[in-house]
Amino acid sequence: MEIVPTLEVGGAQRMAALLSEALVARGHTLDVVALGARTGSWIEDGLTTLAARESRLHLHFLGKGAGLDLSIPPRLGRLLRRLSPEVVHTHLHTVKYSFPASRIVGARCYHTLHNLAEHEIEAAGQRFHQMAFRAGVRPVAIGDAVAESIRRVYHLAPVACIPNGIPVSAYRAPPGTRAAVRAELGIPADTLVFFSAGRLNAQKNHDLLVDAMRALPRDGVDRLALVAGEGELRGALEERAEGLPVGFLGVRPDVCRLMAAADVFVLPSRWEGNPLVVMEAMAAGLPVLATDVGCVAELVTPGTGRLVRDGDVAGLAREMAAITREDARQMGRAAAAVADERFDVARMADAYDRLFMG
């Protein structure tokens, strides 16, 4: 059983969906439980379509409301007792709802931390996680930086360190996609496009990208920044970017096509775990300019992109100004080769399969 807060668009939800698909393909029977209601997201739609044709996959939505919902533990408990899973795998803040009932049914419990432990959950939640880990929930890290944060915050080692994975081949766009998408968006062929994708919130810090665009030199190079995503800071970001060549595209189900139209991917986050979107960009053949946070340096190796300090506007602007279209092509080819070698979802699924069944 995979338990997530919701199936709305997010990195943890995407990883849980990819893992679920892969485990079902390996012959496991799997229940995916979303504590919240249906969201109609493309992640949910993909799992719903798979469940309709695959008898070993079942989806459950508990309709959790905002905040602490005390109706969820007994409802989840009844579901656990009825299904009696061998393994319960939790994500984000779901441990407090699932752990008591999971112990009753005797399931082996694993919790994947999708971010540095300091940022994964609030202080009260950290105290509950500390108790749950001591009582038998096995923490799993998604990268070395996350593993170190587990030791730092919870004073114990993760049971495994399993990097995230993606369907690498799905991010290789068909020939002609770049020109087609640029035509749709009205982008000239000679414009150098910087692309970013993620929630428009404090963590993702798109302020840094906007400010770097403002700081770029007026050197005659036509540059454009595009941001896919939605969030509470969109209005403020649009106001901050007024007069700059920055476009906000909202939530897009075709991020892969947008990447094909771009030259460079930018991740300006204040903190991260092991971000899928960096893997996706590299699989799409894009170099990555990113802040050196979380596990990003474990992904963006020399020759595949460049890293700057968190919040370093001048540093990011300097790297954006220095990169040429030929630089982008060369680093993009190196990034795609790394993605082929390291990021395929099968590697992640094999590791979790061994962990769960070991």
pLDDT tens track for 216-237: 999 999 999 999 999 999 999 9
pLDDT the model gives residue 104: 84
Mean pLDDT value of segment 332-339: 98
Give percent of the chain above pLDDT 90. 92
Residue 171 pLDDT grade (very low, low, confident, very high; cuts 50, 70, 90): very high
pLDDT value, residue 331: 98
Task: List the single range of 63-77, 297-311, 323-337 with lowest mean pLDDT.
Answer: 63-77
Average pLDDT over residues 19-32: 96
Query: Residue 66 pLDDT > 90, yes or no?
Result: no
Mean pLDDT of the region 34-38 = 96
DSSP code of residue 344: B
DSSP classification of residue 174 = P
Per CATH, which fold does 168-342 belong to? Answer: Rossmann fold (3.40.50)
3-state secondary structure of 193: strand
* pLDDT of residue 100 exceeding 90: no
Q: What confidence tier does 9 reach under pLDDT thresholds 50, 70, 90? A: confident
Q: Give whole-number Cα distances, 124 to 144, 304, 342, in Å.
A: 25, 39, 36
- Condensed to tens digits (0 to 9), the pLDDT of residues 104-162 reads 888 999 999 999 999 999 988 999 999 999 999 999 999 999 999 999 999 999 999 99
- pTM of the entire predicted model: 0.89
Which residues of the chain form CATH 3.40.50.2000?
2-165+345-357, 168-342
pLDDT at 165 over 90: yes
**Mean local confidence (pLDDT), 53-75:** 92
- Work out the pLDDT band at 311, boundaries 50, 70, 90: very high
- Mean pLDDT for the stretch of residues 178-182: 97
Q: Kindly report the length of the chain.
A: 358
Q: pLDDT (tens digit, 9 = 90+) per residue, 68-84?
A: 888 999 999 999 999 99
Strand ranges for 5-98 from DSSP E:
30-34, 57-61, 87-91
pLDDT for position 22? 96
Contacts of 80 by beta carbon, 8 Å cutoff, 6+ apart:
1, 88, 98, 101, 102, 104, 105, 107
Q: What is the pLDDT of residue 253?
A: 85
2-165+345-357 to CATH, choices 3.40.50.2000, 3.40.50.720, 3.30.390.50, 3.10.129.10: 3.40.50.2000
Query: What mean pLDDT is reported for the chain?
Result: 95
Dihedrals φ, ψ of 161, to 5°?
-120, 105
Q: Is the pLDDT of residue 315 over 90?
A: yes
pLDDT for the residue 68: 84
In Å, how far are 155, 201, 298, 313, 315 from 268, measured between CA atoms? 29, 11, 16, 10, 11
Q: How many angstroms separate the CA atoms of 134 and 116, rounded?
A: 19
